[in-house]
Structure 1
Amino acid sequence: MKHYSPELRKVEVTRYVTPLREGGSLPAIVEADDEFLYVLKFRGAGQGIKALMAEIIAGELARVLGLRMPELVFAHLDEAFGRTEPDEEIQDLLRFSEGWNLGLHYLKGAITFDALVNSVDPLLASQIVWLDCLITNVDRTARNTNMLMWHKELWLIDHGAAFYFHHNWPNIEEQAKRPFVQIKDHVLLPVASELEAVDAAFKALLTSEIIRTIVGLIPEDWLTGVDSPFGTAQAHRDAYIQFLETRLQHSHIFVTEANHARKALI
């Protein structure tokens, strides 16, 4: 594992370039004051801040595990930014997203991963399948792979649909021990033949300290929003930490489910 730096840079959004209307939450390409382009995920979008929290946790877990992820940054949107935007839908989105949002470094020239065209070796496929089982990511299917090919390498994007249970926060312990049955639709599952080896290696990397550090990146005001079921930001963080630590302790459950689903496919 390369050195993991547990900190996200902060940038100021300076220019709205274009909306990405293929995304359900209407993300956009923007330019920031560091002169880089970012895909901006808005806090005021339909899935709200919970999708941004999922992006941070999932994205940084992927980075710790050595998978390729565009850099994540906190991107600040000034209150006056959307006043000149002629599209009313976008203007509303900008207005509801004032403050800190989440940006992913824009991979210019990247193309969508296509399983019929792009091959992935079994180890990498197993690593991605294992991660998606851990974070309960329902959104890596053939219809919507959420992976890009950039400079002949595979990059992971868009994890806002992970941790889907946090939209309701049922019993954390029970959720953490559940098999991830949706893995049967994962675009890389047919190739993922090394899940047991990946399970042992990745569990060794994801220490309690690493998990707490990643969850600690979430801004406090995101955790104490109007729809938070927890009394404090720390209680909210602890719920994510408990889920991940319990799920890692019982990873054989989701690995077994993935292997059974794979055998049914091949």
Structure 2
Amino acid sequence: MEQLPQLRTVNVTRYMQPLREGGSLPALAAADDGFNYVLKFRGAGQREKALIAELLGGEIARLLGLKIPELVFANLDPAFGRSEGDEEIQDLLKGSQGLNLALHFLSGAINFDPLVSKVDPLLASKIVWLDMFITNVDRTFRNTNMLMWNRELWLIDHGAAFLFQHGWTRWKENATKSFPIIANHVLLQQAENLTEVNDQFTSILNEDKINAIVSLIPDEWLLAGRDGENAEELRTVYADFLKLRLSYADQFTKEADDARKSLI
């Protein structure tokens, strides 16, 4: 029997420093398992919806064989941060009590620079396909959201994916419509194997795997957006969005390939 995805839960023990590269003020934090994490706060920016996108995007990427730092649920105690001197950070900590999301900190990793590092066409195609599938607007030359660690390419920051969350009633339209923003993707020009990747990834993804990943979303995150009063019904919308989006994979793959050819 195939093992279902699971996330560990850690307790944050120390706020180390803000990582101000991100607009939502993520932070480097220590946890009670002895590891350091990049902590994403439920009280920041797009709040829980950004964490849902981060969770789904990261675990779908992992399922497809791409390198993603381990994601964990990170519990923030109500007493945490009372001694923090920065008022902005203190407000962020107060607004983020309970369950947050964190990525394992890759010590020594450097930001991916497309002018320095060239990406294999097959890998580039896999990343472009992923971002088309999850409607991720944020993997551009301006903000690549990729790291080089141990000479390998790692994906981070999927909080800007799943655009339909911000226009909840139009999820079907968002699942089926074109995604012209893909023309700005930092790896599009190298993505020469999109058709091959589409065949591979559509054979990996199925309803059971999509349901298993969506089942990871905590009820409290789903209900916080006030898009409905039943967490299971809201969870079903995410699953149905992904399944419908997958049924249009040939269409969005061709769209990305046409955009790539226009750059040549």
Tell me the distance in 2 between the aligned counterparts of 1:167 and 1:115: 30
Q: Answer with 58-67 or 255-264: which moved more.
A: 255-264
**Structure 1 SS opposite 2:169:** coil
User: What's the CA shift string for 1:97-149, capped at 9, x where partnerless?
Assistant: 00010010000000000111011111000000000000000000001000000
* Separation (CA, whole Å) in 1 of partners of 2:220 and 2:181: 32
Whole-angstrom CA distance in 1 between matches of 2:257 and 2:196: 12
Alignment of 1:72-151 (within 5 A): 72-151=71-150
Q: How does 1:100-249 map to 2 (within 5 A)?
A: 100-225=99-224, 227-249=225-247
CA distance in 1: counterparts of 2:172 and 2:85, whole angstroms: 47
2:258 corresponds to 1:260: yes
Name whichever of 188-197 and 173-182 sits farther off: 173-182
Shift in Å at residue 172 of structure 1? 2.1
Q: Distance in 2 between matches of 1:121 and 1:209?
A: 30
Partners of 1:109 and 1:149 lie apart in 2 by: 9
Equivalent position amino acid for 1:94 in 2 = L
User: C-alpha separation between the residues in 2 aligned to 1:205 and 1:165?
Assistant: 24
CA shift, 1:5, in A, is: 4.7
Distance 1:118 1:159 in 2: 21
Shift of 1:180: 1.2
Q: Tell me the alpha carbon deviations over residues 26-71 of structure 1, each in whole angstroms, 9 at most, x when there is no partner.
A: 0000000001000000000021000000011000000000000000
Letter in 2 for 1:119: K
Quote the offset at 1:230 in angstroms.
Answer: 2.1
d(CA) in 1 for partners of 2:154, 2:103: 12
Structure 2 counterpart SS, 1:161: coil
- Counterpart contact for 2:53–2:160, Cα < 8 Å: yes
Please, what TM-score do these two structures have when normalized by structure 2? 0.98
| Contact 1:178/1:253, CA 8 A, preserved across alignment | no
Q: Which amino acid aligns with 2:238?
A: Y
SS at match of 2:258: helix
Aligned AA for 1:137?
N
Distance 2:241 2:196 in 1: 22
Q: Look up the equivalent residue of 1:240 and give its one-letter code.
A: Y
Note if contact 2:136-2:160 (Cα within 8 Å) is conserved in structure 1: yes
Paired-residue identity, %:
59
Q: Is the 8 A contact 1:4 1:64 kept in 2?
A: no
In the TM superposition, what is the alpha-carbon distance from 1:4 to its structure 2 partner?
A: 5.7
CA distance in 2, matches of 1:253, 1:228: 32
Contact 2:164/2:170 (8 A) holds in 1: no
The one-letter amino acid of 1:146's match is N
**Worse-matched range after superposition: 255-264 or 135-144:** 255-264
TM-score (norm 1): 0.97
Q: Distance in 2 between matches of 1:186 and 1:170?
A: 27
Structure 2 residue ranges without an equivalent (≥5): none
Q: Distance in 1 between matches of 2:169 and 2:160?
A: 17
- 1:17 partnered with 2:26: no
TM superposition outliers: structure 1 runs of 4+ over 3 Å:
none
Q: Secondary structure at the match of 1:170?
A: helix
Give the conservation status (yes or no) of the 8 Å contact 2:29–2:38.
Answer: yes
